[in-house]
Structure formats: structure tokens, C-alpha cells
Amino acid sequence: MKHHHDHSHDRSFDEGPTSEYEIMSRAMQELLIERGIITAEEVRRRMEQFDADFPYRGPRVIAHAWADPAFKARLLADGKRACAEFGLDLEAERLIAVENTPDVHNVIVCTLCSCYPRALLGMPPTWYKSENYRRRVVREPRAVLAEFGTIVPEHVAVRVHDSNADMRYVVVPMRPAGTDGWSEAELARIITRDSLVGVTLPKV
Amino acid sequence: MSLPSAYTEAPARRFNVGDRVAVKAANPPGHRRTPHYIRGKRGVIERVCGVFPNPEELAYGFNGEPKRVLYRVRFQQRDLWANYSGSARDAIELEIYEHWLEPA
């Protein structure tokens, strides 16, 4: 696999009219099926295989980081190594974990394509791949966050992370008040995918 | 997945954390990992990510040699957009390869 960025070079998830690439992709699939080279069933199974290959495991890691400050420090220092210690092999992905604090709110995007920490969070949501999100969150992050229901106070700096090359990113949200004594399994249940991309906050 | 296992440290590098840098304002054709919106802008090295096969070569089926040092660079939002309305402390970080950076 020479071309190893995890982007698809299509824009089929954007809003608006069908793109040229989407038309080409559909035409190619129809031709391959018509000629008996692949079957629709094989395409469906491959899509399922993506989900199996990239399970959604982020909340367990972040819950552990909330419960164990020493682990959190190691996660922030070297995300891939800390995940390996936790039993999660991120394969080729290099992971940078960025921590939300009372002074900083982090949010992740890939403006060039749709790079995403798939080994940790599975397949990216549709909005993450949309042209709208990718174009706007770098220019007006506070407005985009507000559309997700996240109002970041003026005294908190917003830090946007463009996942534009070889690293992948995950946000370590702040542990909400009122969760003292919770088990890691209980904590993991309030850690949503969107909070690990940084567009929302975990809520009790 | 069979990906290049060439992720190594970067002892021989041009910049260190805290150095002020400028992204080249070049506009070469081809597969580039430096977004247009950041070209020509000034920032500060936030971390050294390591040495990676050059994606501008990998994209065309070459082996990515020589490898390039990859940096995480922090830019202030108000330095990027004329009408930025958020806090003066708002920032954006990107990964920039060494051959795209100059001292500033």
C-alpha cells in the first residue's frame, strides 16, 4: 500500500450535489458488479470489515487516564506507547493526545482529507469528513463549536489541531464534576466520540 | 496493514522546540501535505514529531527517501485570518515538514 494516508480522495460525504468523484466511484462499482468481477455482497462485507478492523476503543483509554493521573501523563507524552501499555495496538498510527484544561479547549480536524485516529476511534463520522466542517473549523472554530452546542468562554483558548500529515490526534476532555468514585466503566459511558474529537464535552 | 516502519527519532534537525519559523510561500504542483492556508505564515515549533518518509514522494509510488523531519508548529489565529473574532490566545497547530520551513 504505497499511498498510506487514510483518506479516500472522494467527497461523497459532503453536502450538496453529487461530486465527480462520487459519480466515477459509483460508475466503477456498477461496472465491476455488472462484469461479475465483484459482487455487491463483497462490497458490503468489506465495509463491515472496516468496522471490525477499527473498533471504537477510545473511551476506555480516556476513562483510564481520568482514573490514573500517572497513566494520563504517559498518554500525553506518547499516545501510541501508552495505548500499547493499555493493551491497544495502534499499529502504524502515531497518536498525540491533547488535554483540555480550564485554560485550553482542543478540537481536531483534517483540512486536507479525513485523517482520523481510526485505530482508536473507528471510522470517522460523516460530519468530520464534510467540506463544511473541514473548511470552517480552522477559520471560525468558536462558531462551529457553538453549532455542536459547545460554547467556549472567551477566557479559554481554542486550539485547533489540523491532522494534516503523519500524526493522529485525540482529545482528553476534562473529567466532569460529580463523577467522584465512579468506576472506569461508568466513566467510559459518558465519554462520547464527539468529545474525543473536541466538538462536545462529556456530560454527567 | 503493511505501512512503512520507518518512524524514527530526528537527531539531525534544523529546528528545535520554541524556534520561530515561517512556512514557505511556495506553490509547487503535486501531492503536498502543507495546506494552502498556512503557506507564508509564521509560527513557533511546538514539538518534533520524528522522521518520516516524504509523503510528497510516497504519493507517486516512490519510497519516500530521503526521509524528512516532521514538526508540529503552532500559529496564532489572528496571524492567519484578517477578521478572526475569537480570543487573541486562540491557536492552530499543524504538522509541517522541514523542507517547507525557514527560520523567522
Say which CATH number the domain at B34 has: 2.30.30.50
- Note the CATH architecture for domain A8-17+55-197: Alpha-Beta Complex (3.90)
Of B1, B34, B91, the CB nearest to A92: B1
**What would the grid cell of residue A27 be?**
460508475
Q: How many CA atoms lie within 13 A of A190 on its CB side?
A: 19
Q: What is the ipTM of this complex?
A: 0.89
Q: Is residue B2 part of a domain?
A: no
Flag if B93 and A161 touch (Cβ within 8 Å). yes
Question: How many domains does the structure of chain B reveal?
Answer: 1
**Whole-prediction pTM:** 0.84
pLDDT digits (tens, 9 = 90+) for A104-162: 999 999 998 888 988 888 888 889 999 999 999 999 999 999 999 999 999 999 999 99
Residue B80 lies in a domain: yes
Question: Cα-Cα-Cα-Cα dihedral of B23, B25, B29, B30, to 10°?
Answer: 10
Kindly report, residue by residue over A58-85, the tens digit of the pLDDT.
Answer: 999 999 999 999 999 999 998 999 999 9
Query: The C-alpha cell of A67 is what?
Result: 482514573
Interface contacts (A, B; CB < 8 Å): 92
**B54 within some domain:** yes
> What are the boundaries of each domain within chain A?
8-17+55-197
Inter-chain CB proximity A96 and B92 less than 8 Å: no
Its domain, for residue B31, covers 20-103
Q: Which residues on A lie below 8 Å from B23 (Cβ)? A: none
Residue A5 touches partner B, C-beta closer than 8 Å = yes
